[in-house]
Structure 1
C-alpha cells in the first residue's frame, strides 16, 4: 500500500531533475556574476585579477555610468507615472459601453504585440529630421520646422520615453481593465442614490478598488523598465553620447563590446540589488491595502 509519505517522495523524485536544471540555469549564473564582480576581468588585455570592491567603487567615478544611471532613473520614474495615469484613463475609456468596444480592445494591443526592436527601428526613421514622419506632419502646419530629435539629448530622451509608452501603455491599460471588470455595477448605483457624481465615484470607489491591481502591475512594469535594452539599442544606440543609455544597455556594452567582464558583473549585481529593494518596498506598500 502506498502511503502519503511515499507519494511525497515520488513527487520529489519526479520534480528533482527540473529543480536541478532550474537551479543550474538560474542560481549558478547569479553566483558566478557576484563572484566575477570582485575580479578585474578584461578579456582584451588578458587581465584576471582579484580586485575586491574596486569595480563597485569605480561605478561612482565613471561619468558614462553616472549619466546612464541618471537617465535610467528618469526613464523609469517618468515612464511609470505616465503608465499609471494614462493607463488608468485608457482603461476607464475601454470600460465604457460604446459601439465597437470589443474591436477597440483588440486593436489597442497591436503596439504591445510588436517587437521592441522593430518599434525602435521604425521610430529611428519616424524621428529623422529630413524624411521622418513626425517632422513631415509638423511641416504641414509650420513649413520651416527643423528638429533633429535623436541628435539633441533632451528630445532624444523624450522620444525614447514616448516610444516606450506607445508600446507598453495599452497592455498596462488592458490589465487595469481586468480589475475594473470585477467592480459590481450595484456599488455605483448605490453611490448614485447617495448623490455621488462620476468624479466622486472614481475617487471613493473605483480608485481604491483597483489600487492593489495597479500597484501589483507596477512591480513587473518597473522591472521591465530597469532591464530595458532592445528599444534603446535599435533606436538610439545610447546616443547622443550616453544620454539615452539605460543601465541594462551599459552592462551589455561593457560585457560584450568592451569585454570588461568584472566591471559589467558589478553593474549587474548593483542592478539586481536595486530591483530586489524596489520589489520588497512595493510588496510592503501592497500589504497595507490588504489590511
Structure 2
C-alpha cells in the first residue's frame, strides 16, 4: 500500500466517528420518521397498523393543520420581511460613529440571548389586558383603551410575530453589521465627492454590497421560523383555539399530547420537504445575487 493511500485510510478512520454520530443523530431519525408516517401507531393500545399514504391524505383534510399552515406562512413571511427591513436599518444605526456605540452593540443582543420560553412567558404577562405592560403604556395616552391581545385571533397573531421580532431582530442586525464592516470608507468618500446624498449612497453602494449577505442570512432565519415551537408554547399555547399554532407546535402536540405518532410523523415529513425545497430555492437566489 502506498504512503498516499495509507494516509487516506488514516483520514477516513479519524472522520468515521463523526460520520457515525452525525448519521445516528440526523439520517436515522429522518428514516424512522418517514417509516412511522406510513403506519397508524397507537402507543396506548400497543398496535401498529400499516396505513400507506393515508396519514398524508388525512393531513390535508385536517382543519387544525390547515390553520397551522395558514399562520405559519403568515408568521414566516411577516417576520422575515420585518427582519430584513428593520434589521438593515438597525445595522446601519449601529454602524454609525457615535459615542457609546460599542456598549449599544452589546446590550442590543440581550433579547436574543434570552431563552424563547422565557420571552414567551414575559410576553404573556406584558400583553395582559388588565395588568400588562403594553396596555398600561397605551392607556397613558388613551385612558379607555381595552384589548385582550392573546384572546383575539388577529391581535394574538400580531403579538406572536412582534415577540419573535423583538427576540431575533438584534442578532440579524449584528450579522448584517458584520457585512457593513467590510465596506471600505474610501468608497463612501468617493461617492460624497461625486455629490451623492445618503439615500443614493445606500441604494447604489451599501445595498448592492450587503445584498448577498442579507439573502444568505434569510436561509437559516427562515428555517428557524418554520421550526419555532417554544415561543408559541409558552406564550399562547396555540390559542385562541388553534389560531397561533405553528406547524412545529402542531407536530409536537400530536406526538406528545395525543400520542399520534404516525400522523405527527407525516406532518414532520411534509415540513421537512417544505424546508428542503425552500433551502434549494434560496441557495439558487443567493447564487444569482452573487453573480
Which of 6-15 and 44-53 deviates more? 44-53
Deviation sequence 1:208-238 (CA, Å, 0-9, x none)? 1000000110000000000000000000000
In structure 2, what is the equivalent of residue 205 of structure 1? Answer: 205
Q: In angstroms, what is the RMSD of aligned CA positions? A: 1.2
Gaps of 5+ in 1: none
Does residue 120 in structure 1 map to residue 120 in structure 2? Answer: yes
Q: Could you list the per-position Cα deviations for residues 186-226 of structure 1 after superposition, in whole angstroms to 9, with x for gaps in the alignment? A: 11111122221111111111001000000110000000000
Distance in structure 2 (CA, Å) of the matches to 1:32 and 1:249: 20
Which residue of 2 is the match for residue 260 of structure 1?
Answer: 260
Partners of 1:182 and 1:261 lie apart in 2 by: 49
Distance (whole Å) between structure 2 residues aligned to residue 17 and residue 94 of structure 1? 43
* 1:10 alignment partner in structure 2: 10
Aligned partners of 2:60 and 2:91: how far apart in 1? 41
User: What is the distance in 1 between the residues matched to 2:75 and 2:83?
Assistant: 12
Distance 1:135 1:46 in 2: 50
CA separation in 2, counterparts of 1:41 and 1:6? 48
**Structure 1 match to 2:129:** 129
Q: Please give the alpha-carbon distance, in whole angstroms, between the structure 2 residues aligned to 1:272 and 1:107.
A: 35
Shift of 1:46: 3.8
Q: CA deviation at 1:55?
A: 0.7
The alignment covers a number of residue pairs equal to 291
Structure 2 residue runs of 5 or longer lacking an equivalent are: none
Q: TM-score, normalised by structure 2?
A: 0.98
Distance 1:15 1:203 in 2: 46
Q: Secondary structure at the match of 1:98?
A: coil
* 2:185 equivalent to 1:185: yes
**Equivalent residue for 1:290?**
290
Write the mapping of 1:169-180 to structure 2, written as runs, cut at 5 A: 169-180=169-180
Alpha-carbon distance in structure 2 between the residues aligned to 1:2 and 1:52: 51
Q: Which runs of 4+ in 1 moved over 4 A?
A: none
> For residues 35-88 of structure 1, what are the alpha-carbon distances to aligned partners after superposition, in whole Å with 9 as ceiling and x for unaligned?
111111122344411111111111110000000110000000000000000000
In structure 1, how many angstroms separate the alpha carbons of the residues matched to 2:17 and 2:136? 58
